[in-house]
Amino acid sequence: MRLQLTRSFRLGVAVLLSSMGPARAQSSPGDLAVSATTAYGSYADTDHVFVQTPSVSGVVSNPVAGWSVGGQYLVDVVSAASVDIVSTASGRWQEVRQQGNLDASYKPGTLGVAASAALSDEPDYLSWTVGGKITKDLLEKNLTLLFGYFHTHDTAGRTGTPFSVFSETLTSEAFKGAATVIVNRATLASIIGDVVVESGNQAKPYRFIPLFAPGTYVPLGASVDLVTRLRVAARPIEQLPLSRDRFALSGQLAHRFRSSTLRLEERLYLDSWELFAASTDARYLFDLGRRVETGPHARVHLQTAVSFWQRAYIFGPGFSYPQYRTGDRELGPLVNVTGGWTLRVGVGPPRDPNAWVLGFDADFTSTRYLDDLYVTERASGLLGISLEANL
């Protein structure tokens, strides 16, 4: 069962894992560099959703020859009793998702190519992605251009029901273009554009939308009991447009001070469902000696609702239903603020303290849902611990 909140959780895990990254390569020219990471993420929120995510990853590369091969495997163990589940008189459920990724890249000179594949499996959802990127260094490597394309194919079903009996398909074509500039010896700036064209049914097969008689007032954050009392008997399944085009433009700036690093990112997003979002992300890491790197992380995200969003949809005379209807809070207007802290400790031998790095990450997010049933705010925490090694 796909969670209402899964998207934000996965984004958090992705940020966590990417911030861990492989340990810094220490290879001599011509040597193979081998790094491995094991990590554990733990998510909890006030909507009674808990996710445990152990993962392992590894990279083998030859920095001089310019190639690398890597892979990652992770497991999400989800336990949930969120209001969306409780509101349909269902109990807590547990589920396991597994995901594997493979990446390979080759960049012998100024031109580089990379390919990747990912497979994600859970009882009611199968997703695979393949894609690649081309990079080209220009202006004596002061400018790097990137173009990427990824194809994703998702099959969504219902837990316990074979895909042959019920399934929906969603495909997406994702295009990425980026330009990265070395502004000066200590500053890097990037502009990234993303276009994703999605086709298929994205409605959740478990999500049914309460409808109300015309003139019924349903307050913000109305409780499950109140919604149940006010709604009409007809409660139709979620219905969303069958295509969605997404556009995002991001700017990133990273600056290395004498003993610290600042990274800023601004992302603007718009899609063909009229959802507009802006995200601002800042991360500051400072060195405490040779072994310790630590610092804060902050993020603010604001978004408007999709054009067909309504807190309380109306069941009209003559069996009239809203053509599009959703209860997905991620499609409604919301604001969330994240604050976090990162600590990375080099625990390697004195000659190379960062050959082994122990990492700790903690992020806490407060989300306000501005026009929703059941929930008006949610607090969530994501804790991560990792061990990275150059073998």
Partner 1 sequence: MRKRGATSLLLATGLGGGALLAAFAASCSFPSSDARTLQTALPDESTFAPVAELLSVRCGSIDCHGSVFRNLRVYGSTGLRYLASDRPLSPLCNTCEEDRQTYLSVVGLQPEAMSEVAMGADPSILTMVGRARGTEAHKGGQVWSEGDDSDVCLTSWLEGKVDSADCKSGVNAALSPADPSDDPLLACFSAGCAAR
Least distance (Å) from partner 1 to the CB of residue 34?
34
C-alpha to C-alpha distance for 299 and 110, rounded to whole angstroms: 34
Backbone angles phi and psi of 20, in degrees to 5: -75, -50
Question: 134, 91, 127, 153: which is closest to 10 by C-alpha?
Answer: 127
Least distance (Å) from partner 1 to the CB of residue 316?
6
Residue number, 208 or 364, with CB nearest to partner 1: 208
Least distance (Å) from partner 1 to the CB of residue 181?
4
Question: 312, 288, 314: which is closest to 372 by C-alpha?
Answer: 312
Least distance (Å) from partner 1 to the CB of residue 25?
26
Q: Which two tokens stand for residue 218?
A: 């349903």
Backbone angles phi and psi of 307, in degrees to 5: -60, -25
Residue number, 108 or 316, with CB nearest to partner 1: 316
Residue number, 34 or 197, with CB nearest to partner 1: 197
Least distance (Å) from partner 1 to the CB of residue 324?
6
Q: Which two tokens stand for residue 156?
A: 């969504």
Beta bridge partners of 247: 195, 270
Question: Tokens 């995901």 sit at which residue?
Answer: 99
Question: 173, 245, 170, 155: which is closest to 200 by C-alpha?
Answer: 170
* C-beta separation of 321 from 315 below 8 A: yes
C-alpha to C-alpha distance for 115 and 70, rounded to whole angstroms: 11
Least distance (Å) from partner 1 to the CB of residue 245?
8
For 91, residues 6+ apart whose C-beta sits below 8 A from its C-beta are: 81, 85
Residue number, 31 or 274, with CB nearest to partner 1: 274
Interface with partner 1 (CB under 8 A): 87-90, 138-140, 142-143, 158-161, 165-166, 179, 181-184, 189-191, 193, 208, 211, 224, 228-229, 232-237, 239, 241, 247, 249, 251, 268, 270, 272-274, 276, 306-310, 315-316, 318-324
Residue number, 112 or 157, with CB nearest to partner 1: 157
C-alpha to C-alpha distance for 365 and 16, rounded to whole angstroms: 14
DSSP 330: G
Residue number, 5 or 211, with CB nearest to partner 1: 211
Least distance (Å) from partner 1 to the CB of residue 21?
24
Residue number, 133 or 344, with CB nearest to partner 1: 133
* Rounded (10°) CA dihedral 76, 82, 86, 87: -120
Least distance (Å) from partner 1 to the CB of residue 227?
10
Least distance (Å) from partner 1 to the CB of residue 254?
13
C-alpha to C-alpha distance for 309 and 326, rounded to whole angstroms: 7
Residue number, 122 or 293, with CB nearest to partner 1: 122
Q: Say if residue 225 is exposed, middle or buried (CB neighbours under 10 Å; 0-12, 13-18, 19+).
A: exposed
